[in-house]
């Protein structure tokens, strides 16, 4: 539930401030950063749960969600690169910066998936 409240807050705050001035690039970057941050936040939550002695059944869904969020972020970084250049883009990054951000999101997703598959594959969801 906290995850959705955080996402809703992150989506609304910049949207309300710049709703009229948004370009496709700005929108793609906003979503890329949102999903990247959500993945990082979920991983932090997983680490905290593991530190308190939680078992795999408690952390595997969050780890899986983090992987999904990082993959979504990578897709939005691709959309930002593909967006047409516009004079109204807010602080447009170079394609190399976006490629690095996308690749890092994909690396986190790949590593998260590897950890998930190694530790969570045998775990069944509660009935």
Domain boundaries, the chain: 2-9+25-87+94-120
Q: List all residues 6 or more positions away from 53 whose beta carbon is below 8 Å from its beta carbon.
A: none
63 token code pair: 């780890």
pLDDT of residue 39: 94
Residue with the bigger pLDDT between 19 and 110: it is 110
18-22, 36-40, 92-96: lowest mean pLDDT where?
Answer: 18-22
pLDDT of residue 69: 96
Mean pLDDT across 70-89: 91
The tens digit of pLDDT for each residue in 40-77 reads 999 998 888 888 888 878 888 999 999 999 999 999 99
Distance of CA 59 to the CA centre of its chain: 17
pLDDT of residue 19: 57
Could you tell me which of 56, 64, 60, 13 has the C-alpha nearest to residue 38?
64
Residue burial 92-112, b: 16+ Cβ < 10 Å; e: rest: bbeeeebeebbeebbebbeeb
Q: How confident is the model at residue 87 (pLDDT cuts 50, 70, 90)?
A: confident
Mean pLDDT across 81-89: 85
The tens digit of pLDDT for each residue in 90-104 reads 778 888 999 999 999
């Amino acid at each position: 539930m906290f995850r959705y409240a955080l996402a809703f807050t992150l989506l609304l705050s910049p949207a309300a401030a710049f709703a009229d001035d948004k370009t496709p690039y700005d929108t793609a970057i906003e979503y890329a950063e949102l999903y990247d941050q959500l993945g990082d936040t979920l991983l932090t939550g997983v680490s905290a749960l593991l530190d308190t002695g939680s078992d795999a059944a408690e952390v595997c869904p969050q780890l899986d969600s983090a992987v999904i969020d990082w993959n979504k972020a990578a897709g939005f970084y691709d959309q930002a690169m593909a967006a047409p250049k516009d004079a109204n883009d807010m602080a447009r990054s170079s394609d190399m910066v976006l490629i690095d951000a996308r690749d890092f999101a994909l690396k986190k997703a790949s590593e998260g998936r590897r950890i998930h598959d190694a530790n969570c594959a045998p775990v069944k969801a509660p009935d």
